Structure 1
Amino acid sequence: MTTTANKRHREVKEPHWIEWATGMISALVVVATIALVAYEAWTYADMQPEFSIAITERRQTEGGYRIAFDIANKATATAAAVTVRGEILDGSKIVEDADVTFDYVPAESKSSGAILFSQDPGVREIRVRAVGFIEP
């Protein structure tokens, strides 16, 4: 640390405690950052996209029926052009089906969408599933 006396600079023999504290905190932040990056690099597993879909809402609209859903990608890889198909089932027979395509579903995240049907699903089973994607 420099002090001024009569327009002359001279060094103090021992640095102030704040300088030591700032240096130690900075060093800890740098070491923690390096450790975190090393841990992520060491444990990173390149996985293919893995989707799970949950229906969040069923609602009648002007043009038909809207089935809203969330699609989650649990993997560490992003998927592009993800096609999701919704089907209204009466027993094992498909009454109506519709597709929607997401531009992308990022890795370890969730997106939302909806499928529009012309028929009332009523109490019939609705199946919503991902049927395809491409690697970006």
Structure 2
Amino acid sequence: MTRSGPRRHRERQDPHWIEWLTGLLSAILIAGMLSWVGWEAATRKATPPDLSVRVLATEATPGGHRVAFDIYNYATTTAASVTVIGRLTEGNRIVEENHVTFDYVAAESKSTGAILFRNDPVGRDLDIRAAGYTDP
């Protein structure tokens, strides 16, 4: 630590106790983080993507209707090129079908998207689901 006086600076030979405490806490924190990452890498099993879709909202737009949704990946592996298909049906007849592709859905995360329909989903059966993915 440097002490300043009039017209001179003097360097202290012994470090201040706060410097020792800061260094010790930093070393403990880094050792803990490295241990945790190593433990996760050694013990966590890689599971294939487990995709699930939940509809958030349906709203009218000037060009039709927007159905917003979340897609969840509960697995420990990322899914790439995830295709989500939205289908409107009346009975056994498919009224409209659209799809959207996500570049990826990361492991243990969610992404949000929307499918646009020309026809109103109200009063029809709406099925939105993940249709496929590739391994990154």
* Shared fold, TM over 0.5: yes
CA distance in 2, matches of 1:61, 1:53: 22
What residue in structure 2 maps to residue 54 of structure 1?
A: 54
Shift of 1:133: 0.9
**Residues 18-57 of structure 1 aligned to structure 2 (within 5 Å):** 18-57=18-57
3-state SS in 2 of match to 1:27: helix
CA distance in 1, matches of 2:22, 2:62: 63
Unaligned runs of 5+ in 2: 2-10
How many residue pairs end up in the alignment? 131
CA distance in 1, matches of 2:93, 2:12: 90
Per-residue CA deviations over 1:49-83 (Å, capped at 9, x if unaligned) read 11111111101111211111111111121111111
Shift of 1:118: 1.3
TM-aligned CA distance change 1:95 to 1:26, over 3 Å: same
TM-aligned CA distance change 1:91 to 1:32, over 3 Å: same
Question: Matched residues, percent identical?
Answer: 50
**Residues 1-136 of structure 1 aligned to structure 2 (within 5 Å):** 17-136=17-136
TM-aligned CA distance change 1:64 to 1:26, over 3 Å: closer
Unaligned runs of 5+ in 1: 2-8
Shift of 1:10: 9.8
TM-aligned CA distance change 1:56 to 1:10, over 3 Å: closer
What residue in structure 2 maps to residue 5 of structure 1?
A: none
Question: Normalising to structure 2: TM-score of the pair?
Answer: 0.79
CA RMSD of aligned residues (A): 2.7
- Letter of the structure 1 residue corresponding to residue 30 of structure 2: V
TM-aligned CA distance change 1:62 to 1:11, over 3 Å: closer
Shift of 1:89: 2.3
Question: Normalising to structure 1: TM-score of the pair?
Answer: 0.79
TM-aligned CA distance change 1:39 to 1:10, over 3 Å: closer
